[in-house]
């Protein structure tokens, strides 16, 4: 009897845990679908850009914030994901998978292409991270900066990838629902990672790498894992962006794009998931609002970051989350104990 009860309890806990993991997606799909239906085109463009930038900022925060490293080549991994996804969908856009409707076949192919883009970006992250993350200091920043430029120049000189003009005619598969689900997946990944044993090892590395090693933490292994995960989700952001603007070109993935994402992480707080979400939203809306002032928008963007560094060096939230800040103003009432 006790064994059967234990098994039922175990299965119940697994079911509850599985439901909690999928609950954000189950709630998000109808909400995102509704927003997509009622949003005017110009609002939809801004929302898609916000969602893509949330994916990029949160994924970069895994390395720059939670691990305490400094990567400035996120756009390079975006490019890898964008080109991989685009080449697959361009090759299979007229293909129908057996047993599926045309719409479902298209969505399945797009999902597989996004996963392939993430795998290639993650593999590139592994190749870049293995030599550079074995060392301490600013080596990762130097290597990722070089990688960003190398991948851009490489793509520009490969005719199969469209050269400097890029790949045009990319299928318009990205919707607000796809971007929203990508953002939810990225945020869920970051939250689960931070609360796991792996995440605690990353935080230990950020606080004191030498002490973490002395306590038996394999710092190189954990840093490489974090970098691979971050790179893979950068590829997801690149794939979604390419299938929304319908053009994948090297000009989209320059060093300036990498620095935009770094700025979002710094503004929100290096080590804050909610900070990355809010800063990505604010800066995306700001840059869209200044689109008519092309000559001054990046100057104003840089000026905002300078002012922030002078007033709040740790960013808007530092290493805290928005729910931690709110708990200060709305403390939980302590239960009154009966005598």
- 167 membership: H or E segment, kind and range: strand 167-168
Calpha distance 36→270 (Å, rounded) = 31
CA distance 294 to 245: 19
Which stretches within 166-218 are classed as H helix? Answer: 176-195, 197-207, 209-214
10, two tokens: 């175990």
pLDDT digits (tens, 9 = 90+) for 39-59: 899 999 999 999 999 999 999
Contact between 81 and 117 (Cβ < 8 Å): yes
Write the Ramachandran bin of 169: left for phi over 0, alpha for psi from -120 to 50, otherwise beta.
left
pTM over 0.85: yes
Burial 177-205 (b: 16+ CB within 10 A, else e): bbbbbbbbbbbbbbbebbeeebbebbbbb
Q: Judge whether residue 336 has pLDDT over 50.
A: no
* pLDDT number for residue 329: 67
Write the burial class of residue 131 (CB in 10 Å: 0-12 exposed, 13-18 middle, 19+ buried).
exposed
- Rounded distance, CA 150 to CA 144, Å? 10
- In sequence order, which residues have a C-beta less than 8 Å from that of residue 35 and are 6 or more positions away? 47, 176, 180
pLDDT tier at 337, thresholds 50, 70, 90: very low
Please report which confidence band the pLDDT of residue 304 belongs to, taking 50, 70 and 90 as the band edges.
confident
What average pLDDT is seen over the chain?
Answer: 88
H or E stretch covering 168: strand 167-168
* CA-based nearest residue to 75, from 337, 244, 283, 262: 262
Q: Are 70 and 64 in contact (CB under 8 A)?
A: yes
Residue 15 clears pLDDT 50, i.e. is over it: yes
3-state helix, strand, coil in the chain (%, to 5): 75, 0, 20
Angle at 156 between CA 150 and CA 162, to 5 degrees: 140
- pLDDT at position 288 is 83
Structure token pair of residue 163: 């050269």
Confidence of residue 3 (pLDDT cuts 50, 70, 90): low
Query: Does residue 24 have a pLDDT over 90?
Result: no
pLDDT at 250 over 50: yes
**In terms of Cα–Cα distance, which of 110, 112, 54, 77 is closest to 243?**
110
Locate 287 and state its tokens. 């840059």
Q: Which residues contact 275 (CB under 8 A, 6 or more apart)?
A: 267, 268, 269, 315, 316, 317, 318, 320, 321, 322
């Amino acid at each position: 009897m006790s064994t059967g009860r234990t098994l039922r309890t175990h299965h119940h806990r697994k079911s509850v845990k599985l439901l909690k993991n999928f609950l954000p997606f189950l709630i998000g799909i109808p909400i995102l679908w509704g927003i997509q239906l009622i949003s005017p085109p110009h609002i939809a463009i801004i929302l898609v850009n916000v969602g893509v930038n949330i994916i990029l900022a949160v994924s970069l925060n895994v390395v720059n914030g939670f691990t305490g490293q400094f990567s400035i080549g996120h756009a390079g991994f975006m490019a890898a994901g964008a080109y991989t996804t685009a080449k697959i969908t361009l090759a299979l856009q007229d293909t129908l998978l057996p047993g599926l409707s045309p719409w479902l076949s298209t969505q399945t192919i797009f999902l597989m292409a996004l996963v392939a883009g993430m795998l290639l970006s993650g593999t590139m992250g592994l190749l870049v991270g293995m030599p550079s993350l074995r060392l301490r200091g600013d080596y990762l920043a130097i290597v990722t900066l070089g990688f960003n430029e190398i991948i851009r120049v490489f793509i520009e000189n490969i005719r199969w990838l469209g050269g400097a003009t890029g790949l045009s005619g990319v299928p318009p598969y990205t919707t607000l629902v796809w971007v929203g689900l990508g953002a939810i997946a990225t945020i869920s990944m970051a939250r689960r990672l931070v609360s796991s044993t792996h995440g605690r090892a990353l935080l230990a590395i950020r606080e004191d790498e030498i002490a973490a090693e002395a306590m038996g933490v394999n710092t190189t292994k954990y840093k490489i894992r974090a970098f691979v995960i971050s790179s893979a989700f950068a590829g997801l952001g690149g794939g979604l962006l390419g299938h929304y603007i319908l053009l994948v070109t090297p000009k989209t993935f320059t060093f300036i794009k990498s620095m935009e994402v770094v700025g979002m992480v710094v503004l929100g707080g290096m080590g804050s998931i909610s900070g990355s979400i809010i800063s990505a939203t604010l800066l995306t809306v700001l840059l869209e609002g200044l689109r008519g002032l092309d000559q001054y928008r990046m100057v104003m963007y840089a000026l905002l970051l300078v002012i922030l560094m002078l007033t709040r060096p740790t960013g808007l939230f530092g290493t805290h989350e928005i729910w931690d800040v709110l708990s200060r103003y709305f403390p939980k009432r302590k239960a009154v104990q009966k005598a």
